[in-house]
Structure 1
Amino acid sequence: GYRYPCSRLVAAGRRSFLSHCKVPSSCPATRCLSTAASSEDGQLIYTGNLGMAVRGVKMFSYCTSGASLLIMPQVLLKTGMGVESFALQVAFCGIIGVFTFLTPVLLHVITKGYVLRLYHNANTDTYTAITNSVFLTERRCVFTRNQVRVPSISKMFTSFYAGQRGLLVNPDHFPIPQDYNHLMGYDKPFSFSTDDIE
C-alpha cells in the first residue's frame, strides 16, 4: 500500500498532541475589565488635569509672600522709611501686606474645591474626593451620593456641593460619562409634578 512520508507522519502526530494538550503560558492573562485604578477608597473615576499647575501656582505664591516678608525690613531701612512718619510706614506696609497675604488667601479660596482625584465605592455608593489643603497636602472628603447637591445657579468654581463643601470637577475628564451622570444624579428617573409649576 501507499506509505506516507515520514515528515507527514511527524506533523500529524504534533497536531494530534497539541489538540489534546494545553501548554500553560508563562505570561499572565490580560483582563480589560476596567481602565480605572482601584484603591481602598474604591475605583478611580476622575483625575483633574490641573493638579500640578494649581500646586505650582500656590507654591510660587507662598514663596513670593515669604520673600516679601524677609526683604520688607531691609527696604524700610535702606530707603529711610524706617525713620519717616508713622503714617507713611503704615501705608507702605499695608500695600505690601495686601499682596503678601491677600494673594495666597485668594488663591486658596478659589482652588480649595478643585478635585485632584475622585474615587467611587460602588458597594456603599460613597465618594472620596482628594483636594489640596492650605499647606499643599492632600485632603480627603468622603461623602455619599445623597449628599451631592447641584447648585441651582451655575458657579464658576463649584460644580456641586458635597454637604456644605463646594467641589469643582471637569465633566470632560471622566473616562466613563456614566460615572459623572451618576455623581450628579442625572441618571435618576425624571419625575414631574403639577405642584412644581404652581
Structure 2
Amino acid sequence: MLHLTLRNLCHKSSFFQHNLQKGIVAKLKVISVQNKIPRRLYSNTQDNDQYEQIYFGSLAPQIKAVKIFSLTSSVAGLMAQPIIVKQASQIGSTSLLVIICSMVGFFTFITPLLLHFITKKYVTEIHYNPSNSTYKATTINFFLADKELEFKCEDVHVPDIPGMFTSMHVKGKPLFIEARHFENPLHYAKIMGYDKPMDFKLGEVQDSDNNNK
C-alpha cells in the first residue's frame, strides 16, 4: 500500500513538473516574441529618423491651396460641362457655343496643367542623412502627392544661365530652391557647389588669344 502511494505521488509530481515546464516554455516564447516586435519597430523608426529636415519652402502651403482649388474647379467644370453645352446649344449661336466651350475647356484642362508646369520644380522640403551624406528633395506632383528624390552633391548640376524657376538640375530634373529657407546655409553652399574651387576658365581665354594671333 505504501509502495502504491509513493508511486502515485511520484507520478503526480512528475506530471506537475511537466506541466510547469510547458507553462514556463510558453511564457518565454511569448516574452521573446514581444521583445522582438519593439526591437524591429525601434530599428525601423531609427532608420526613418536618420533624415533631418534642413529646408522648408515657405510657398508650399500656398501652392497646395492653389492646386487644390484648381483641381476642384476642374472637376466641377467637367461635371457642369454637359449642362453648359446643352444650355448654350439652345441659344442657336455657333460662335457663342465655341466661345463658351473654349472658356470652359481652358479653365478645366489648361489651368491645372499650366499651374503644375510652374510648381512642379518647387522644392517644398529637403532632408539630410549625415550617415551617408545623402539629400532627399520633396516636390508636389499633379495630384498633390509628395514626390521624393534622393541625391548627393555629385548629382547636382548648376547651369551657367538658370532657366525659369530653375536653380539647379538634379539627375537631369530641374528644381528650384531658395537660399534663405535653409536652416544651415552651409548645406546650400554644399549643394550648389560653392564650396568647390572656382574655375574662371582662364585657359580658354588664353587659347583664344593665341589663335587670334
Tell me the TM-score normalised to structure 2 length.
0.67
Partner of 1:133: 141
Query: What runs of 5+ residues in structure 1 fail to find an aligned partner?
Result: 1-37
1:54 aligns with 2:76: no
Partner of 1:18: none
Conservation of the 8 A alpha-carbon contact between 2:126 and 2:135: yes
Q: Could you say what secondary structure the match of 1:110 adopts?
A: helix
The AA in structure 1 aligned to 2:138 is I
Partner of 2:179: 171
1:86, CA displacement in angstroms?
Answer: 6.5
Q: Which moved more, 1:63-72 or 1:87-96?
A: 87-96
1:139, CA displacement in angstroms?
Answer: 0.7
| Structure number with higher helix proportion | 2
Partner of 1:190: 198
1:194, CA displacement in angstroms?
Answer: 3.5
Identity of aligned residues (%): 36
Q: Which moved more, 1:122-131 or 1:132-141?
A: 122-131
Conservation of the 8 A alpha-carbon contact between 1:41 and 1:128: no
Partner of 1:160: 168
1:74 aligns with 2:83: yes
Q: Whole-Å Cα distance in 2 between the matches of residues 172 and 190 of structure 1?
A: 22
Q: Whole-Å Cα distance in 1 between the matches of residues 52 and 204 of structure 2?
A: 37
The AA in structure 2 aligned to 1:57 is V
Conservation of the 8 A alpha-carbon contact between 1:82 and 1:89: no
1:152, CA displacement in angstroms?
Answer: 1.2
1:39, CA displacement in angstroms?
Answer: 4.5
1:64 aligns with 2:73: yes
Query: Of the candidates 98, 101, 108, which is equivalent to residue 100 of structure 1?
Result: 108
The alignment's C-alpha RMSD in Å is: 2.2
Partner of 1:118: 126
Q: Which moved more, 1:38-47 or 1:184-193?
A: 38-47
Deviation sequence 1:7-29 (CA, Å, 0-9, x none): xxxxxxxxxxxxxxxxxxxxxxx
Q: Whole-Å Cα distance in 2 between the matches of residues 192 and 52 of structure 1?
A: 40
Partner of 1:144: 152
Conservation of the 8 A alpha-carbon contact between 1:147 and 1:162: yes
Partner of 2:43: none
The AA in structure 1 aligned to 2:55 is Y
Q: Whole-Å Cα distance in 1 between the matches of residues 75 and 128 of structure 2?
A: 38
Q: Whole-Å Cα distance in 2 between the matches of residues 196 and 182 of structure 1?
A: 26
Computing the radius of gyration over CA atoms, which structure comes out larger, 1 or 2?
2
Q: Could you say what secondary structure the match of 1:124 adopts?
A: coil
The AA in structure 2 aligned to 1:133 is N
Q: Which moved more, 1:119-128 or 1:160-169?
A: 119-128
Q: 1:41 to 1:63 in 2, by over 3 A?
A: farther
